[in-house]
Structure 1
Amino acid sequence: MSARAASTATLTVSTATGEFTFTESLRELGGVTYSATYRGDGSHTPATARTTVTITE
Protein backbone atom coordinates (compact mmCIF):
# COMPACT_ATOMS: atom_id res chain seq x y z
CA MET A 1 0.00 0.00 0.00
CA SER A 2 1.10 3.51 -0.64
CA ALA A 3 2.42 5.48 2.32
CA ARG A 4 0.00 8.35 1.71
CA ALA A 5 -1.22 9.87 4.95
CA ALA A 6 -4.66 10.72 3.55
CA SER A 7 -5.64 7.18 2.51
CA THR A 8 -7.31 4.37 4.40
CA ALA A 9 -7.34 0.68 3.51
CA THR A 10 -9.03 -2.58 4.49
CA LEU A 11 -7.88 -6.05 3.45
CA THR A 12 -10.15 -9.06 4.02
CA VAL A 13 -8.78 -12.56 3.33
CA SER A 14 -10.82 -15.78 3.26
CA THR A 15 -8.80 -18.63 4.76
CA ALA A 16 -11.24 -21.11 3.17
CA THR A 17 -10.79 -19.94 -0.44
CA GLY A 18 -7.70 -17.73 -0.39
CA GLU A 19 -9.65 -14.93 -2.06
CA PHE A 20 -9.25 -11.40 -0.85
CA THR A 21 -10.97 -8.05 -1.09
CA PHE A 22 -9.04 -4.82 -0.86
CA THR A 23 -10.74 -1.47 -0.35
CA GLU A 24 -8.84 1.80 -0.22
CA SER A 25 -10.07 5.39 -0.18
CA LEU A 26 -7.47 7.56 -1.88
CA ARG A 27 -7.71 11.28 -1.36
CA GLU A 28 -5.02 12.31 -3.85
CA LEU A 29 -4.76 12.16 -7.64
CA GLY A 30 -2.08 10.00 -9.18
CA GLY A 31 -1.09 6.37 -9.29
CA VAL A 32 -0.58 3.69 -6.69
CA THR A 33 0.86 0.22 -7.30
CA TYR A 34 -0.37 -2.83 -5.41
CA SER A 35 1.57 -6.08 -5.11
CA ALA A 36 0.46 -9.38 -3.61
CA THR A 37 2.69 -12.36 -2.91
CA TYR A 38 1.76 -15.88 -1.81
CA ARG A 39 4.64 -18.04 -0.60
CA GLY A 40 2.91 -21.29 -1.48
CA ASP A 41 2.63 -24.44 0.60
CA GLY A 42 2.76 -28.21 0.12
CA SER A 43 -0.28 -28.14 -2.17
CA HIS A 44 -0.01 -24.75 -3.92
CA THR A 45 2.74 -23.06 -5.91
CA PRO A 46 3.98 -19.56 -5.04
CA ALA A 47 2.39 -16.65 -6.91
CA THR A 48 2.90 -12.92 -7.31
CA ALA A 49 0.56 -10.32 -8.83
CA ARG A 50 0.98 -6.59 -9.39
CA THR A 51 -1.31 -3.87 -10.69
CA THR A 52 -1.31 -0.08 -10.84
CA VAL A 53 -4.40 2.09 -10.35
CA THR A 54 -4.40 5.72 -11.50
CA ILE A 55 -6.83 8.22 -9.99
CA THR A 56 -7.59 11.04 -12.45
CA GLU A 57 -10.61 12.79 -10.92
Structure 2
Amino acid sequence: MRRYAIGALLLDLHRPERVVAHLPGVLLAPDENDRDGYVPPRRLLLRGTRSRR
Protein backbone atom coordinates (compact mmCIF):
# COMPACT_ATOMS: atom_id res chain seq x y z
CA MET A 1 0.00 0.00 0.00
CA ARG A 2 1.26 3.49 -0.82
CA ARG A 3 2.03 5.96 1.93
CA TYR A 4 1.27 9.58 1.13
CA ALA A 5 2.75 12.46 3.05
CA ILE A 6 3.13 16.23 2.73
CA GLY A 7 6.44 18.07 2.96
CA ALA A 8 7.39 21.73 2.56
CA LEU A 9 10.19 23.79 1.08
CA LEU A 10 10.89 27.47 0.50
CA LEU A 11 12.19 28.61 -2.88
CA ASP A 12 14.03 31.82 -3.72
CA LEU A 13 11.65 34.40 -5.19
CA HIS A 14 13.96 35.47 -8.03
CA ARG A 15 15.67 32.12 -8.63
CA PRO A 16 13.04 29.44 -7.96
CA GLU A 17 15.50 26.65 -8.78
CA ARG A 18 17.34 27.61 -5.55
CA VAL A 19 15.99 25.97 -2.39
CA VAL A 20 16.25 28.39 0.56
CA ALA A 21 14.99 26.00 3.26
CA HIS A 22 13.16 22.71 3.61
CA LEU A 23 11.70 20.60 6.37
CA PRO A 24 13.92 17.63 7.22
CA GLY A 25 10.92 15.34 7.69
CA VAL A 26 7.26 15.18 6.72
CA LEU A 27 4.81 17.93 7.66
CA LEU A 28 1.72 15.75 7.66
CA ALA A 29 1.27 11.99 7.29
CA PRO A 30 -1.59 9.61 8.12
CA ASP A 31 -1.42 7.18 10.99
CA GLU A 32 -2.63 3.59 10.59
CA ASN A 33 -6.26 4.47 11.47
CA ASP A 34 -6.43 7.03 8.65
CA ARG A 35 -5.15 4.74 5.92
CA ASP A 36 -8.42 3.04 4.99
CA GLY A 37 -10.34 4.04 1.84
CA TYR A 38 -9.82 5.11 -1.73
CA VAL A 39 -8.01 8.33 -2.64
CA PRO A 40 -7.88 9.23 -6.33
CA PRO A 41 -4.52 10.43 -7.69
CA ARG A 42 -4.04 14.20 -7.34
CA ARG A 43 -1.32 16.81 -7.69
CA LEU A 44 -1.34 19.96 -5.66
CA LEU A 45 0.81 23.01 -6.24
CA LEU A 46 0.41 25.97 -3.93
CA ARG A 47 1.77 29.33 -5.04
CA GLY A 48 2.68 32.10 -2.63
CA THR A 49 1.56 35.64 -3.16
CA ARG A 50 3.56 38.82 -2.88
CA SER A 51 2.18 42.02 -1.47
CA ARG A 52 3.04 45.08 -3.55
CA ARG A 53 4.18 47.84 -1.26
* TM-score of Structure 1 vs Structure 2, range by shorter chain: 0.3 to 0.5
Higher relative strand content: 1
TM-score in terms of structure 2 length: 0.33
Larger Rg: 2
TM-score in terms of structure 1 length: 0.32
